[in-house]
Structure formats: C-alpha cells, structure tokens
Structure 1
Amino acid sequence: MSLLEVSISLSFFLGLVFLAYVCILVRGFVKAKPERPGDPGELDWHFVIPCRDEQAVIGGTLAYLESTFPEAHLWVIDDASGDDTAAIVAERAARNPRIHLLERKLPDARKGKGAALNHGYREISRHVGDSELRARTIVVVVDADGRPSANMLELCAGPDAFADQAVGAVQVEVRMVNRDVQRPLPGKGPLANKFAAMLARMQDIEFRGPISAMQIIRRRTGTVNMGGNGQMNRLTALDSIAGETAEPWGNALLEDFELGLRLMLAGWRTAYSRGSWVDQEALWSLPPLVVQRTRWAQGSMQCLRYLPRVWGSPCFSTAGFLEILYFMLRPWVQVVGSIVYVIPLAVFAFNAAAYRDFMAGFLANGGLLLMFAYGVVGIAEFAIWGWFYRSRCEPGVTRRSAVYYGLSVALYSVLNYVIAWRAFGRFVSGRGSWKKTKRNSELAGARAPAVGAVTK
C-alpha cells in the first residue's frame, strides 16, 4: 500500500473509533443519575491546599472554606513561595486552630505537586495518629483558587461515595468560575477580550461536557480518574499505597491520574460526583494553557509504564483495561493522527492544483458530497457538546450561542494536536520538570482573579 492509502485507511479507522466513543459518552451523559446524599458528620474532613506564590487567591480561598466547611481542617502547604502566601496563611492560622500552615524550604521544596501533597499526607497522618479515626478521615485536595460547592461533603459522604467502604477516592466535577466574565482583559481591545472570554468558556464546556461524560462512563468501568482539584481520598486508602517512604503520590507530571491508578491497583474503587463540584479559574491566555495541558499529556505518557500491571491485575475488568488503555494512548494517537489526517489533505490539495480536470470530475461524481459528509461528521463529533452544554449545564445560554460554542469546541480541539507534539518532544528528550501554570493575575493587563466568595 502507498503512504496515501495507509494514511487514508488509518484516518478512516481512527475516525470511526472516535465516533463510536463519542456515541458512548453521549449516551452515558444523558442517562446519568444523580448521586444520593449522606451524613458528612460521619467523616472527618481535611482539606489540603498546595501553594506556590498564591498570595492573590489564598486569603479568599481560606475565607470561603472556613465559612462553608467550618468543621473541616485546612492544611496549606507553602512550597517555598517567594511572595506573601505564608504570611497570609499564618495570620489566619493564628485566629483559627483548624488552619495549619506547612512550610517547605529549599532545596527540598519546589519538586512538584506530588511531593508537596506527600508532605501534607505525612503531617495529617501524624495529626490523626494510629486510632480508629484513620478509617473515617478524608483528605480533600483543593487548588489555591478552588471553591468547592456547599453540597460537596454531603454528596461525597453518600452511598455512591465514601459511605461505601470499598470506595477509596472520589473526584467531583470541575467548573470554571470565570466562565461568564465578558471583559477579562480591561487593558486590551475587544478582540483580545472576546478571545480570552471564549477560551474560558471552552475550558468550562470541556470539563462539564466531554470530561464529565468520560468520568460518568468510568463509573461503570471502575476507572474514575482523579483530578488535581476536587480530589478526595480516604486516609486508609492512602496508607495502603504510601509504602515505607510514606509517599502515596508518585512523581509523574500527572500525579492525580497516577494516584488513582495506584489506588485501583491496590483494590480500591474510585467514584465520581457530578452533582457536586469545585470552581476554579479558567485561563485567559493560550501560552499558560498550552503549558498546563502539555504537562498533563506528558504525565499521561509517563504513566504508560503502569499498563503491564493494569493488564495483569484482577482489579480491572476488560472494559476497565480498555478505558485505561485509551486514556494512556490518547496523546500518542493524537501524534499519529496529526500525521495521517494531514497527508490525504496535502495530497488532495496537490492534485487539485496539478490535475484540475481530474479533480473536477471527482468532485462532480460524488466526491464533493463525500467530503462534505466527512466534514460534517468530523465537526459534529465536537460541536454536539455546545448543545449539551446548554441543555444540561447552562440553560441560560441561547440556542445561537450553543451553536457558536459547539463550532468553537471543534476548533478548540485542534489545540490537542499541538499539545500532543509538545508533550512528545519533552518525553523523548527526557525533559520532565514540573512547571507551575501562571495565574490570570500574573498576566499583563488581566483583571484580578474571578473567584467569588459564593459558589452558585
């Protein structure tokens, strides 16, 4: 077979697989049932907030958590911040004994989020001690700008989550708190503001649409992924994988996914709550977004080393293995896909220029209809999330906006191929440093962080 024939065959096969996957996601998303609530008083809640240079947001986050979850302990891990993060936390800790400041110093600090979380685990472990309290202690990971919904503990204490003793971890839905901001960059022009606002909306649709749908399907396959924000872990589950070094979190750049894998390999179930959520800031600029997503994609590549253990583990069903396999291979498939999709287009463009009469005949005899159908299906696979976003997430969105958002999602998805190549380049070159994503407040001309005191 020629290179063109191979690329066309592969692109057709990958297109069919993705279409089938989208159909499965949509069906699960539409038929998802709400979680049942429980009594949060049956459990002890410890929030862990890793911080590095978070003076712009940490004060508001602590104020929100104090007022919304007054019975919870708040553990702030300052990872050698160069600003006033530690001072802000220390001032609040002096007034509230349930706020704890854990300061990490160089050269031991700034070694990634996993290392900071392991430090928090060890401190909480010492605080709880070797008592029956360990079995009822829940460690909640929240970003420095995180705003968990007020019903989060209630739903996560329910029979679909930690009331089931087999559940070792729960992930809640992630939403973008600044999704409705119209002028995120007041110091810039209308086009820059429209782009920034749309970028934030795309991230909200992404997490509440396809990512949430994936997590709902993973409930059935038993492979719910953990995220970096709104992640909850039973302390005894962390104990089971911590080992002699007392480090339940690994060193992969996608430390949250790696943690979930390790828990599942240890026999724990993971759960997902869509009825509760955590609000966080969406990024208003492409460069920090690309840096963030590159880290995630590279972390997924790093976790490929776990695949033989997942294959041989009795803790995973066939469907569970296939779901994990798909997630791990996705950035690799995107690298391949960016090649096999481009080759037919390039050949077609060349033939259209070099053999105009032949191409005109091809288009007139059904070729144009075939290309149109292929384009419609390829765009619709992504654009459909604009409609579901309106019907299932934001009913106030107009039909026109839903169409606009859907088409934008299709364009936004192209970014994944750029990210996959950047992650691939870093992976093969051995670059594995953990780079913190800059917040909106650090961008020139950006408005203050849009993290309100009340989650709706």
Structure 2
Amino acid sequence: MIGGVANDPVALVGHWGAVVMIGTGLLYVLVLLLISRRSPRIERPRHSGSSRAKDILVVILMPCLNEAEVIGASVGRLLDIPDDKLRILVIDDGSDDGTADVVRAIPDPRVSVMRRVPPRARLGKGEALNDALGHVRDIWGGDPGTDVVVGVVDADGRLEPQAIDEARWAFRNRRIGAVQFGVRINNRFSSLLARMQDMEFVIFTEVFQRGRRHLRSVGMGGNAQFARLDALSALGERPWTKSLTEDFDLGVRLNGTRWVNDFRPTAAVHQQGVTSLRRLLRQRTRWFQGNIQSLDLLGRAAREQRGLARADTTWQILTPYVLLAASLLMASFGITVAIVVSKAVLGHSQTWWWLLSAYLLAFGPGLVFGVLYWRIERSEGLGLLKSLCYAHLFVLYGLLPALFGWRALLREIVGRTGWAKTAREAEKSADGAESAVPAAELATRQEVPATRAAEAGAAGAAALPQDFRIPPALVRVDRLPPRFPRTVPPGIQRSPRPPTTSEHHEVAA
C-alpha cells in the first residue's frame, strides 16, 4: 500500500492531505480540551473595572411564532424568578393563533408584548430581534446610570433560575460584552436521537466554548445569549443579520469589538430536542447553510481580531468547508474497508493491525467525550459503561454532516433560503402524561428570502383574522413597564419616530 502511494503523485497528495487534516483536527480538539479544564483570568475583574450586579437591568427577548400553547408556561417560568430588575419582551412575529393574547393575559407588569405585523413580520429571527432592540433602547436605554443587558430565550426555552444572577455576576466585569450559557435537551431521556443532541451540546460547551474563553473567541448561540446593550450598539442600530445563523454572525462580530465574549458553565437553558431524523436533517441543513453564508466574515475577523482569537475564528468560519472535505475522506475510508472485507471473504490474506489504529483515531476522542458527559450526567443516573456506549453512537451521529452539509451547499448554490418552522413535539412528564406542547406540524414560513419579503407580507396578512385591524406598517407594543428617559446611546443614529397613535404605544417599524 505504501509503495503504491509513493509511486502515484495523486495518491501521495491525498494521503498526506488526509494525514494533515486528521492531525490538525485532533490537535485542535486536544488543545481545547486541555485549556478548557481551567478558569480564564477574565473571571477575576479588577475593582476599577467592575459594577454592582444589583444595578444591572436584564431584558429578556423571546421571539415566537404561533406559540400560544407554550408561551404562557415559558414566560411563567421566567416570572417565577423573584427579580424586580427583570423584564420580558415577547416578540410576536405575526402569529395567527392568539400568542399575543396569551401574553397580554399574564398579570405581571414585568411582561410586555411586541406584535410584528406584515410586511414586517416573518422575515427571520434576526429582523425580529433588531426591531425589538429598538424598543429596548427607547424604553430602558436612556438612563446612563443603569447597565442594560439583553438576553435571548426561545419560546420553548427553560432558563435555569440561577441564570439571571449568573449573568449579572458575569457582567460586573466591564470588559465582558456578551455571555453565553450552556444548552441542554430536556427530552433526552425519552429518545436516543435527543440523547445524542444533548451529548453534542454538552461536549460543545464543555470543551469548545470553555476552551475558547482562553482564546477570546467564544461564540453566541440562538438560545440563552446575553449581551450588553452598549456592546450591541457598537455593531450599529441593527446588530443581528439576516443570515440563517444570525447568532453565529453576532458572536463573530462582537469578538471584533473592544468587548469580550464569555461562556459561563454555571447555568443552562433547556430546550426540546428533535426526535425525527427527517426534522433533524432539515434543522441542521439550515444551520449548516447559515454557516456557509458566514464566509464573508473572514475579512472582518482578519481586520478586527488578533492572535489566537483571529486564528480560531477563522477556523470556525471555515469549519463547514472542512467538514465537507472530511466527508469525502470518510467515504474513501468506507470504500477501503469494504474492499478489504470483500477480499477477506474471497480468501485473500489481509493484515488487520491498521483497524486498531483506525478505531483509536475514530473513537478515541469520542471515548474521552463519553467520560466528560458521564461526569455531568451521573447525577441523573447515567452509568460510565452506558456513557461509553453512547460515545460510540455519538461518533456515528457525527457522520451526519456528510448528509446535511452537501444538501446545505446545494441549497445555497441554487439560492434557496426559505425555511418552514420546526414543529414542536408533545413532551411527556415522568408519569407518561403529555404536556401542552403542540405536536402538529407548523407549515408557516418563518424565514424567507429578502426578494420575497413582499410576498411573505401579503401571505401573512391573508392569514390574519378578519377583525385584525392593526395598520400593516406598524409594530405594536402592549402594556409597557415604566421607562427611562428616551435618549439614544452614543454612536447610534436613530431616524425620527412618529408620535404615539394609541394607548398601546404603536410606533413605526
């Protein structure tokens, strides 16, 4: 085999290319694994660079579309936190199932709802967050003596109660501009596929996010991300992009500012995992396609970041292309194994020692991940042997990018960026009873291409009830809490807003 490689230039390039790819990947994981085991210096702020945690106002943005069956419980879990400096702004992105009515019925002045209507509605999560951020600036951003932190929690998110205090504790350090908490899958006990997703999130946060704290390249996720209002304003009036992965884009661009992104393993948000391979393929294809769209961030990372942060951010941006190349390597390995097995069946003598090295390369890191996962889940009754079995399945689960990666690339090439909202699934409690989470498939479009915005607006308007009479160019904010004076943070140029047109404070989008 070696001689054949030496005599064939193409095979030689392929051989050493594979060696470099595998070696680089293993070294990268090893380095992050080692540095993730210790705390970064940023956790110890200087006294002159800190602020009092109790003075930080936390505003939770909760974007939702047709979430009437779950939004009440989601908001209720946040309101169970006894905190008079916690505010919740639900962003109803053109729902037609009464989502806003459910929120308005909650008798707590800390909650308000912003209704986005066509043609502004259903243009993507980033656009909804940007519109909501404008109202945050108007209502809470005018007091220079109060630090304002903006959090994002999905409609099905279950934020652990200590997360708000942990966020305040992190933002005492004036250098920190954004904080990301971990993500757990709350239905991991009922589905093997959901268990793999939980393991995926745990390993990502325990190894990669914790390791990136030392490199100053922590990324932002779409759930349980918190950022200073000032840090978001440093990116302009509308910091979130129209990308399918607006959270990844935000994290990369925040890392290029004077602020520092941080990850805190002390709290997490629990969300629903996908238990259907078909829905998982659709979801992960969208994520992969969003990462492909982030290629234009390379120049920004090169200009605005330095040292290890720039190197790691470059690696993150190029990861989807590395995975696509790795899928070809995996296919080649599979073909080689099939040929060797076929020859052995036909009676040809074969050497099998290389299978041990192949096993260690493929499953070695997974076994380490299995031990890490066991250390976290053993309090929930997970045994070490079972966790190591999960580790083997996790390696096979990691081959799925070979499926949705190429699908995402094809969609990007042909210009398909519209996506159907991922369906909720009925969750079961410990006694087997189903909770009030809708299981029906939601065919409503949540994100559409910019060129089809007008069509989406018209379709959304047609789906509204006949007695719905909000002017189509308005965003409606109901029952707002007491506000600070309306001054705009430095560096943000706001266009003049028309005067209030109703008792609910309707303003132009």
Q: 2:158 aligns with which of 147, 156, 161?
A: 147
**1:137 offset after TM fit, Å?**
0.5
Equivalent runs, 1:11-410 vs 2, <5 Å: 11-32=18-39, 40-71=53-84, 72-92=86-106, 95-133=107-145, 136-158=147-169, 161-180=170-189, 182=190, 197-242=191-236, 246-313=237-304, 316-347=305-336, 349-350=338-339, 353=342, 360=349, 362-363=350-351, 368-395=352-379, 396-410=381-395
Cα distance in 2 for residues equivalent to 1:298 and 1:13: 26
User: Residue type matched to 2:221 in 1?
Assistant: G
Determine helix, strand or coil for the equivalent of 2:69. Answer: coil
Cα distance in 2 for residues equivalent to 1:217 and 1:231: 18
Cα distance in 2 for residues equivalent to 1:341 and 1:359: 24
Per-residue Cα deviation, 1:66-115 (whole angstroms, up to 9, x for no partner): 111542111000011121211111211xx222211100112211111000
Instruction: Tell me what 1:192 maps to.
Output: none
Determine helix, strand or coil for the equivalent of 1:56. Answer: helix
Cα distance in 1 for residues equivalent to 2:285 and 2:262: 26
Determine helix, strand or coil for the equivalent of 1:47. Answer: strand
Question: What is the number of residues matched between the two proteins?
Answer: 420
Question: Given that residues 8 and 344 in structure 1 are in contact (C-alpha distance below 8 angstroms), is that contact kept between their aligned partners in structure 2?
Answer: no
Instruction: Tell me what 1:189 maps to.
Output: none
Cα distance in 1 for residues equivalent to 2:337 and 2:157: 48
Determine helix, strand or coil for the equivalent of 1:157. Answer: helix
Question: Given that residues 8 and 341 in structure 1 are in contact (C-alpha distance below 8 angstroms), is that contact kept between their aligned partners in structure 2?
Answer: no
Question: Given that residues 177 and 450 in structure 1 are in contact (C-alpha distance below 8 angstroms), is that contact kept between their aligned partners in structure 2?
Answer: no
When residues 175 and 32 of structure 1 are mapped into structure 2, their CA distance, relative to the original with a 3 A threshold, is farther
Cα distance in 2 for residues equivalent to 1:97 and 1:348: 64
Question: Given that residues 324 and 406 in structure 2 are in contact (C-alpha distance below 8 angstroms), is that contact kept between their aligned partners in structure 1?
Answer: yes
Q: 2:400 aligns with which of 389, 412, 415?
A: 415
Instruction: Tell me what 1:187 maps to.
Output: none
Cα distance in 2 for residues equivalent to 1:62 and 1:88: 10
Question: Given that residues 440 and 449 in structure 1 are in contact (C-alpha distance below 8 angstroms), is that contact kept between their aligned partners in structure 2?
Answer: no
Structure 2 spans left out of the alignment, 5+ residues:
1-7, 46-50, 428-432, 439-509
Cα distance in 2 for residues equivalent to 1:408 and 1:21: 22
TM-score norm. by structure 1 comes to: 0.85
User: Residue type matched to 1:120 in 2?
Assistant: A
Per-residue Cα deviation, 1:266-305 (whole angstroms, up to 9, x for no partner): 3221111001111111222222222222222111111110
Question: Given that residues 180 and 264 in structure 2 are in contact (C-alpha distance below 8 angstroms), is that contact kept between their aligned partners in structure 1?
Answer: yes
More displaced, 411-420 or 38-47?
Answer: 38-47
When residues 312 and 378 of structure 1 are mapped into structure 2, their CA distance, relative to the original with a 3 A threshold, is same
**1:354 offset after TM fit, Å?**
6.7
Determine helix, strand or coil for the equivalent of 1:68. Answer: coil
**1:426 offset after TM fit, Å?**
1.5
Determine helix, strand or coil for the equivalent of 1:330. Answer: helix
Cα distance in 1 for residues equivalent to 2:194 and 2:88: 28
When residues 239 and 69 of structure 1 are mapped into structure 2, their CA distance, relative to the original with a 3 A threshold, is farther
TM-score norm. by structure 2 comes to: 0.77
When residues 400 and 340 of structure 1 are mapped into structure 2, their CA distance, relative to the original with a 3 A threshold, is closer
Determine helix, strand or coil for the equivalent of 1:341. Answer: helix
Q: Which has the larger radius of gyration?
A: 2
Structure 1 spans left out of the alignment, 5+ residues:
183-196, 452-456
User: Superposition RMSD on alpha carbons, in Å?
Assistant: 2.7
Per-residue Cα deviation, 1:23-54 (whole angstroms, up to 9, x for no partner): 22322343357968996422001110000111
**1:439 offset after TM fit, Å?**
1.6
Determine helix, strand or coil for the equivalent of 2:118. Answer: coil
**1:412 offset after TM fit, Å?**
0.9
